[in-house]
Structure 1
Amino acid sequence: MPRWLKITLKIAAALVGLIIILFIALTVYVNNNKQKVLAMITTELNKNLNGTLTIGTIDPTLFKGFPGVSVELKDVVLKDDRWAQHHHTLLTAKDLVVSVNASALLKGEVVINKIDIDNADIDLFTDSTGYSNTSIFKTKPKVEKGPKEKQTSSSTQIKRFSLNKVNFVVDDRHAYKLFKFAVNEIRGRMDYPGKGWNADIDLNTMANSFSFNTRKGSFMKNRLLKGHFDISYDDNSQVINVAPNNLNIGDDAFNVAAKFDLKKPETPFTINLKVNDILWSSAANLLAANITKSLKMFDLQKPIDVTCDLNGSFGGSGDPLIYVTAKVKNNVLKAQGGTIENCSFKGVFSNNYINGKGLNDENSVIKLYHFNGSYKDIPFTIDTAFINDLNTPVATGIFRSRFPVTKLNSVIGDESLRFTKGIADLKLAYKADIVNFKFTKPMITGNVDIKNADVNYIPRGLVFKNNSIALKFTEKDLYINNIRLQNGSSIVNMQGKVSNFLNSYYNDPEKILIVWQITSPEIRLGEFLGFLNSRGGGGESSASTYKNSRAAKARVTSQLNTAFDKGQAELHIRVAKLYYKKFLATDVTADILLADNSMKVRNVNLKSAGGSLKMAGLILQGPTNNFAISTTIDNVNTNTFFASFNNFGLKDFTSDNLRGFLSAKADIKGGINNAGNLVPKSIRGTAIVNLKEGALVNFSPIKSVGKFAFPFRNLDNITFGDLKAQFDINGDQIKIAPMQINSSVLNMDVEGVYSLSRGTNIALDVPLRNPKNDNKIADDGERNKKRMKGIVLHILATDGDDGKIKIKWNKNHKKTKTDDDDQKTDDSQQTPEPKQD
């Protein structure tokens, strides 16, 4: 070994030995004078504090920080001078070890090789007035330096640090911020290239609170944060940059980047998070409670891609700017209203919907772009859907869809309408409040077109085929255009309007009034008898069946049923031909009001049987459909008219017995069953009849009298002058007011009761004289005196044992003076009394 090397090694060994001796001496000195040294250190440190620092014990550690100088402090407590008021201790540390570079210390620099803090609590507290317990550190006065004064400074550098079992709290009650971390372990290394520093940090900590606004809740609440950070600081810009790196937040791996600007006193920051394949519920739970509540209106079955950008400041009192994006593809979306399959969209959340209106719930928005999916197998698209104002959420958007109309059956239920064919095309703009995560009372504008549809209206048992309909929703009204309904051979074209539709539909569907303009080339009323029925189907039992699994659909169905069944419809009808069984009417016009289980008929005008008919009335639906009508008949062909209505239930007096032209006025009440037939014994009312150019053809009661009373007269075709009569109807009893019949064969006075069952009792006064030439008497008074001259037969038509009408003498007839005079004059003309049977 060269001599110079031997000398060098000896000198180095001597120096190392000297240093060891100095460390040992320092250690021995400190150990022997702990209290004195501790008092000196704490006294010196407290000079620069607005508060107190206490250290339980101090121990030099010779080998722990070698070749640096290491000191282990135990039970370190740091309190500001207002601690008695707020009771928040800035630092409480059970163990704190500081290792300082000895050679750097000799140069006037403090280079901390390592700081280890174990079992500690750090509480940075700011009260509501803005006072902070960090004010314990006195601010050094600024000293102006001359231009030629040498700029010198010393810097404190930390090489390594670690925290174990440390509770770190930033509680700012002035800015409503609360950050609480339970640090399991943090280990870091730092270097100082140029102006600034770089740090590599490994983090393992529980985020108990990460709240920028305690009134809104915490981000990442109770989530374990575990990962690595590369952090740098530049002295010139005074900006801390956190390079993008992976951080596990709970069970999900995020890529996190951040920037903090220390130049400004409020310390603005930007935090960027990105994650792939995270569940919607997991992502929502990482945000503040007020945002989570809104996002949980929905849930997605498959993982999604999410980014979150936070821009705010630690010194500000408001929320940070929050911007969250989510990409969803071929997913399953679940909401309170149902499930959407094959769902794809780009979602955005922001709490700054309109610039300048603040970062708050009222100015927050959820945007869904290019929303595609299918609901109950109904495909649809929404170009852009918005949900804004999280305090009172409102959803808006434009809904488009084209689908087979049969798919509506699973949406609205099949208790009211069942579609079997057709295509629906929808374009609707909607706006809806959201209450308890449910869309409530959406307001709709736009169009719905349905073509070539077959639909069965279940409650009334009606089937419509080859139908079309065009709905136009405005802000207030609903227009129903170009409707074509076909039921059997009946074809109906309709135009309708519902004023204030949506408001009435949601708030009081029973008050909905739809005004229809209806035209048709041909209607057969028998095909619409379902409207006479009371509402059918087991509504209540159906509702209980769907109570749990289809609650939303049941609500829609119930409201739709109410609107259909109890809403009112005003019909203005123009029909070229109207058929009802044997009845045919042409040029029909009518105004009808359909209300809850009632039908008001007004201004009915039609042509039938060569004449015309006017009518107004009311039908009340029930087990028996009760009606009340007022009718005016003008100059109808009697034979055709009676045949059209099945002789109005008469058995012995039919259309085959009548000829002539009938005019009448009738006010009648009664019942019609669901098959459209009159209910027996239900008719009540009055009919006033005028028959012109009448003839009685083959009427058996008259012919039975004529067999013996008028054997030489033609009773097969008895012609009349004007015949006027009044009938009071009471069930199956028809009361005939006193009536004069003047015919070509005989004259007759008639009065009594005709029964459709039992109880016929009709008095007939029939003079035997032949009135054949009475029409030659010009004077009406003279002709009237002569009509009852001569022998008069007083006959009673009553029920026979076989159910047919029998003729017998009317023994209870009250003779008048005229009768006695006639009998004296014409005794020779009397005929034998007919047999009773």
Structure 2
Amino acid sequence: MVKRLFKIFKWTVGIVVTLMLLISAALVIFKDDIKRYAIQELNLHLNKKLHVSYIDVTLWKTFPSLSLDFDDVLIHDKFGEEQKLDTTLYAKKLSLRFNPMDFLESNYTVKSIILKKGIINLKVDEQNRVNYDLLKPTEGESSENFEFSLEKIKLDDTDFSYQNDITKQYYASHLDQLNLSGEFSATKYTMQAQTDMMVKQIKREALTLISNKRANCNIAISMNTEDDIFEIVNADVKIQNLPFHVEGRVSPDSIRFAINAKKLNLTDVANNFTLAQLNTVKELNGNGDVSFDLELIGLNKTDANLNIHAGFSIQNGSLANTTFSLSNIDARGKYTSDANTSELELEKLHFLSSGSAFDAQLKISDFDKPLIRGNAKGAINLAAVHTLFGPFGLQDLEGNLDVNSAFNLRMNNPVYNPKDLSIYALKGNIHLKNITAQFLNDTRIFKNINGEIGVRNEEAVIKNLYLTIGESDFNISGELNNIAGYFKGTETLFIDAYTRSKNINVDDFSSTGGSMTEASRSWLLPTKIKGNVTVNAAEIKYGGHTYSDITTRMRLTDRSLEFSHLKGRNAGADISGNVLVTEKNPSVLTVSTDLYSNNIRFAPLFKEWNNFEQTVIAAENIQGIAKIKLKFTAPFDLITGLNKDLIASTLDIEIEDGALYNVETFKEITASIKSTSATLLISPQKINAFEAKLLNLKFNKMSNQVIIRDGKLYIPEMKIESNALDVLVSGEHSFNNDIDYHFDFRFREIKGKNKQTEFGEVVDDGTGFRVYLRMYGNIDDPSYAWDKDAQKKDREEKRQEEINTAKSILKSGFGINKKDTTILEYTVDHGPKEEITLSFDTDTLAPPEEKEEEKKKSKFQLKLEQLKEQNEKENEVEFQIGQ
């Protein structure tokens, strides 16, 4: 018996091995014929041109099936007769599986199709043409031996998408694995579909229903190919592990699908559906029940829209973390879409925040250019808004809003220009309460934001909007007009405002503290903003300096700020005038000033401004009071810095009761005199006495005009009368402290000034030998020399003066050249005369005490109260959606 069994086994194995060898030999012999035959048959069945890089026939890798493998299969888009280069189908490997025993009988029946690492893009264009009509009737040309009797279709690692330009539908997913099985050749059968996938996007017009969610399903579909009816028998569908009940039926003339879910957990829904902003709900101890019903109904046509009806609700919801708490969340809404319109309606939204209620209604239609209508009333916790829907460009947002508003507006370009709004109706009042905000990548923190804003259509009124930035504080009231036109970028925003500040530190406005680069060069001053802002600041700090009691009226125009009637104090001096700031090139601010002051005291001024970055004259070396008139223009490039060569300035200055003490440079002047032959004419005692006066130099009045241009400060010739000597001074001083000064004084003044006698002061007649001294080089190490060029010039001027005097005497005394108007009449200087001055005390009458005027409401407060009264009166009528 054992021998017989062994004999049967031996013959069986021998037959199988022989068959396998025969099949292998046949594959080797007829391999090329099989390839040609397969290509010929495929071309008879396909309506598109097939591109293949390599074809192979294998058995042992796919045993017990025989496989016809195609590498790098590609089919381009083709709409009717129009050929395109886009991809309809691509597969790294496409395999057609056969029964190897059928090959021995020349029966080539495809049992299964396997596609790996593929791309499938199905499209319907605007002309209702499709790119997926891959198969065509064979019209009797196909061989009876080659046919498809599919039992299995498998797709691995494949991207799949469907786009309908008529209905504006778009579906995209990545199929990790899709298995379809059934008797596909039968007229009635049940197809089993199993898949694991990533749903990349399900989109209808501008509304995205699902984005980047994991899904898996196991569906049984009853297929009736005779009547073209397909119906879902059983469906187990999960999206991110959320279970859904699915029903569906497709007939030749209609399509219907229904999806619903009951009492899903709020946290799970928020993390897995539609609103990506709600992904943080699981961190907020979210709770509540979510239910929804979705139905899709329509005609079975590629150019027909599926009508969508969806309803959703949230009950007993709550969200909370360490900064906020939302409770009693109750929401109800619906989404509808047909061939003409799509609309999302939030019929009810209610929740409690910090014990205060918030209620709202909202309707959004036309998602390409969303029309948004609704109303809102109650308290809003901004920390919750930032956490759930942010970040809005903010890394932190806290505080509360109390709102009472109704709105009807359209976003004309939500993707590329969200500020492009058309406001049809907008009214409401907003109270800001203890808001704190900080932008992303910004060191500044805006804190203590409180105030009230009233809005009515294009107009907004701000009342006592208070905020702080670092050490700086602001209290703003004002009115804005043409708001929507400005945000749209087509019209000008008009401002009329008033701001008060106790302290402003300009360093608080730096967003990063880092230096700017050419790559960050941009426009700073706004365009399309016009108006006036009255500024009142008790103290402004900038660059280590303090300015106090600042008042001005700032006028805004396109890339220009004009500060008129500017008043303030610095280093004890009162300053007034006008300042203009313009921006003609990005990040380059041109500042022009016209400033005045009548009481600049040098000692505190030099101390405040660190002696103007020089060591020759310090705060302890100078005294005096100055009157100035400054006109100044310079471009401040915020990236490369101030170009000093482009400064253009004139300074009219008048100094009274001036004094210089212990100036080291004056010692160097007397030292240069001691080192010359002047010591032969002047005794050392006289030089020492002269030096003592220089080190305690006082002068009553001095005036001149100082000019800055081409990177240099020019001092025209001026006369300084002092207790030491009377001197003519002129010179140049560059910004790198290179100097060239010229001094001109009479030699006898070094020996001593006018003397007093019992008959009065002996007056000098102005004659005598003059000394011309030049100081040049760098201010920190100057050189001194006798100024021969100045001496020669002075001699020429005096010679010309004497000639003119002689002509005047001849004209006045003898009538010579009477008709020459260039010759002046000669006048005799009779010298000083004694004057007797009587002074009497004058009575002063104190002005009557003024009664304190009653405080009046500002125009902004009156305007806000008017808007508030109108809005509250109209908001008493409950806002109804759809009316």
Normalising by structure 1, we get a TM-score of: 0.48
Larger Rg: 1
Higher relative CO (CA 8 A, sep ≥ 6), structure 1 or 2? 2
